[in-house]
């Protein structure tokens, strides 16, 4: 399924800002999917999406999502949701059906708060930085394969947040990753402004401090365009904090892309709509969401030994 994508995409010209280099993935001819869902921000602004705790008491690894609208809503792997009893990030890419209510798997990225400051959740407008996101994804893959659940290693996520805050020099009374973003908001805004979409762009490969970190690929230009600023904010935070180089294998972008699309993948029914794929090889980890044989979202990373997120 993934291998068929190789003939439909190509790599564009890289662009760089400081220590972050982005290589665009471009369509050769036509979209990879006919599905063009709303993003979380659009659905929240329209008033058709509501994200809340699963109950008044709450439960750390789950949130409730209600979609009262006519459109599909796409929630990205690693997308940050702020509010409720503590801020969370989403453990898998999810398509929320129209007129539905589902429970989604999440991880906490605010260890020092368990109490409401707002009843529901808002979109933070960013995706988790690569180090924590990819470590989280490895644990979710293990959980899915062993238990048919999508739990992360919550303690490891909290540890990653602590190290990231330290690397950024960010104080956070509730140990929230959002305070790291707030501490460097001007620099992150500069990174976002430095990168422009290229015609036909549906994906991106990240190189941070000279190290190839991973990729995100989407089914259509519109879907990618909505996700792009959120993805850049996450990778920019990592670039500002530094990227662990120990144990990294030297890879070029084309070889990595071909390796990802050629890797075997396990298949599972997705949360919400579609089919979820998980990649779990010695050198590559990641996941993908398909709907009706069309790619919605693929993410992948170059696997290496356990590292200290945010420290060089």
Q: How many CB atoms lie within 10 A of CB 271?
A: 22
Is residue 311 predicted with pLDDT exceeding 50? no
Q: Which tokens go with 234? A: 């996450």
pLDDT tens digits for range 150-208: 999 999 999 999 999 999 999 999 999 999 999 999 999 999 999 999 999 999 999 99
Is residue 267 predicted with pLDDT exceeding 80? yes
Strands of the chain (E only): list them.
9-11, 15-17, 20-27, 38-39, 49-53, 62-67, 73-75, 79-84, 88-90, 94-96, 100-108, 118-127, 201-208, 211-218, 265-269, 275-280, 284-291, 294-302
Q: How far apart are CA 298 and CA 217, in angstroms?
A: 5
Is residue 246 predicted with pLDDT exceeding 70? no
If we measure between CA atoms, which residue out of 279, 224, 205, 293 comes closest to residue 76? 224
What length does the chain have? 312
pTM for the complete prediction? 0.94
Q: Where are the domains of the chain?
A: 3-302
Q: What is the pLDDT of residue 303?
A: 84
What value does the mean pLDDT take over residues 101-120? 95
Tell me which H or E stretch contains 164: helix 154-168
């Amino acid at each position: 399924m993934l291998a068929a994508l190789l003939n439909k995409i190509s790599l564009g010209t890289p662009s760089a800002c400081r220590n972050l280099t982005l290589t665009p993935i471009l369509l050769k001819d036509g979209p990879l999917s006919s599905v063009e869902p709303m993003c979380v921000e659009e659905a929240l602004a329209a008033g058709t999406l509501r994200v809340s705790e699963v109950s008044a008491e709450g439960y750390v690894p789950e949130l409730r999502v209600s979609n009262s609208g006519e459109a599909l809503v796409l929630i990205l792997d690693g997308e940050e949701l702020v509010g409720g009893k503590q801020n969370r990030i989403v453990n898998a890419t999810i398509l929320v059906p129209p007129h539905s209510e589902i429970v989604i798997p999440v991880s906490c990225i605010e260890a020092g708060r368990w109490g409401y400051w707002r009843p529901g959740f808002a979109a933070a407008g960013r995706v988790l930085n690569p180090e924590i996101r990819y470590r989280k994804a490895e644990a979710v893959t293990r959980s899915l394969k062993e238990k048919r659940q999508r739990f992360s290693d919550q303690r490891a996520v909290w540890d990653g947040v602590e190290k990231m805050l330290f690397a950024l020099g960010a104080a956070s009374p509730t140990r929230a990753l959002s305070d790291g973003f707030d501490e460097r908001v001007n620099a992150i805004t500069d990174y976002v402004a430095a990168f422009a979409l290229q015609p036909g762009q549906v994906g991106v490969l990240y190189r941070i401090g000279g190290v190839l970190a991973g990729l995100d690929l989407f089914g259509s230009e519109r879907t990618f365009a909505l996700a792009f600023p959120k993805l850049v904010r996450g990778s920019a935070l990592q670039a500002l904090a530094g990227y662990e180089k120990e144990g990294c294998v030297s890879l070029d972008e084309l070889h990595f892309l071909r390796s990802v699309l050629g890797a075997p993948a396990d298949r599972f029914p997705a949360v919400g709509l579609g089919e979820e794929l998980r990649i779990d090889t010695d050198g590559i980890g990641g996941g993908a969401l398909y709907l009706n044989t069309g790619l919605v979202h693929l993410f992948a990373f170059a696997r290496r030994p356990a590292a200290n997120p945010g420290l060089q």
